[in-house]
Structure formats: structure tokens, C-alpha cells
Amino acid sequence: MIEITSLNKKFGKMEVLKDLDLSIMKGGIFAVLGPNGSGKTTLIKSVLGIVVPNSGEIKIDGKSILGQFDYRNNVNYLPQIANFPTNLSVKELLTMIKDIRGKNAADERLIKLFGIQEYLDKKLGHLSGGTKQKVNIVLAFMFDSELIILDEPTSGLDPLSMIHLKELIAEEKAKGKTILITSHIISFVEAVADQIVFLLDGKIYFKGTLADLLTQTKQADLEHSIAHILEGTYA
């Protein structure tokens, strides 16, 4: 579904992505991991067209996305930081996004699932971080799109909301959707990911299943595998 070839991105003199090649097949859950500054968010924003690479190519379903915008209507995105307009109510935000997307939305079910009915008329600037993240999740899942990108989706969530998030991700996977996730919560990644993509210094260090990574690093779990990689790189 996603084919990335020789992707390079610099911010000033800093090379963030370096001749990065990555293929992601349709269907399944792909966790994009790596230390801070490894290029995870830049990679995701490049796929979204928010960041324009210096060179290289990104194709989705065989079509280059460079200079294109229509493909985004088949992408759902949850940003790491939910910068909502503070003067809008939750209901006003949901209505605005539905008008912009012009697609059928399953927001009512998600509103009930995450218990935000009582906040619909409240201004977004008055909400707690955890409640904003629930609104963020509703926005990310209320449209039927083939590609779902979740950047640190667990931030600020209570345990029950975390369970509901995992259930939603499993439902979308069962529909054949492709889901990209970044997360620093190792237990969450272990619970949901089919494939792991590990970025290091702007390049793909590893791509495969968790079992493959454990075998390669000779470790018992994902946490120790990542620690092993980082110790070997930065020791």
C-alpha cells in the first residue's frame, strides 16, 4: 500500500531521513519505533504530505503523493499533540471536521464509547489533556478510511480508554485497514503490532515481526530488544 524509496529530508544542516526505503503492505498494524530524533514523526508527516522531502518518492496504492492532496481523504490521522481551536466546543469541532471531510461519520458510537457526551458543549480550551485525547481518537476513527496513522495515541489515556483504543484498532485491522502507530508505551506495541519498523538515525534499522526482532537481538521482550539495539549503537 505504501512504497517509500530513497527518502531524504533535512532541516537546515540536520539530516533527519537518510535514503530511507520502506514498503508497507495493505492490511495489518505497523508500529514505527525509534529513539527521539530518529525521524519517526518526519516520516509520518512525509506520508501525510505535511513535510515535503528533499528527495525520494512516496507512493500510496501505486500513485505518487508528491503535490497531490485528494489521497488524504482516505487517510485518518491522530497527531501527537491535539492543537484544537480553544474557542470551539467539542460538538462544533466534530461538525466542522465532518463538513470538511464530507464523508459519513460514526461519531455517535465513539462519543459514547469514550464517555465524552457531557463534554460536547464545553470549549476545547477548558478540557483536560486526557479528554482532549479522547476527542482526538474520535476524530481519528469516525471516518471509514483505508489508512489510519496514530502518532502516540495512548497519551493521557486512562486504563479503560486504553482498552477501548485497542478494541478499535483490532476492529479496523479486521476490516483490512492499514494502521501505522508510533508509541513509547512498549506494552501497547507488544499487544497490538503485527510488524515493527525500527528507525535509527534516519534509517530503517529493522523491519519485521516482534518474534523476528527478539530472535535477532537474542532478548526476551521488546523493551530489552530496543535497549540492546541502543546500547550497541551508542555505547
pTM flag (> 0.75): yes
C-alpha cell at 33: 519505533
More confident of the two residues 235 and 14: 14
Closest to 38 in 3D by CA, of 189, 190, 185, 226: 226
- H-run or E-run covering 15: strand 14-24
pLDDT tens per residue across span 154-192: 999 999 999 999 999 999 999 999 999 999 899 999 999
82 — pLDDT class (breaks 50, 70, 90): confident
CA distance 10 to 1: 25
Residue 235: pLDDT above 50? no
Q: What angle do CA 226, 231, 235 make, to 5 degrees?
A: 160
Rounded Cα–Cα distance for residues 16 and 37 (Å): 7
Query: Between vectors from CA 224 to CA 36 and to CA 211, what angle results, nearest 5°?
Result: 105
Assess whether pLDDT exceeds 50 at residue 10. yes
Condensed to tens digits (0 to 9), the pLDDT of residues 207-234 reads 999 999 999 999 999 999 999 999 876 4
CATH topology of domain 2-81+152-234: Rossmann fold (3.40.50)
3-state secondary structure 143-159: ECCCEEEEECCCCCCCH
**Residue 81 pLDDT level (bands cut at 50, 70, 90):** confident
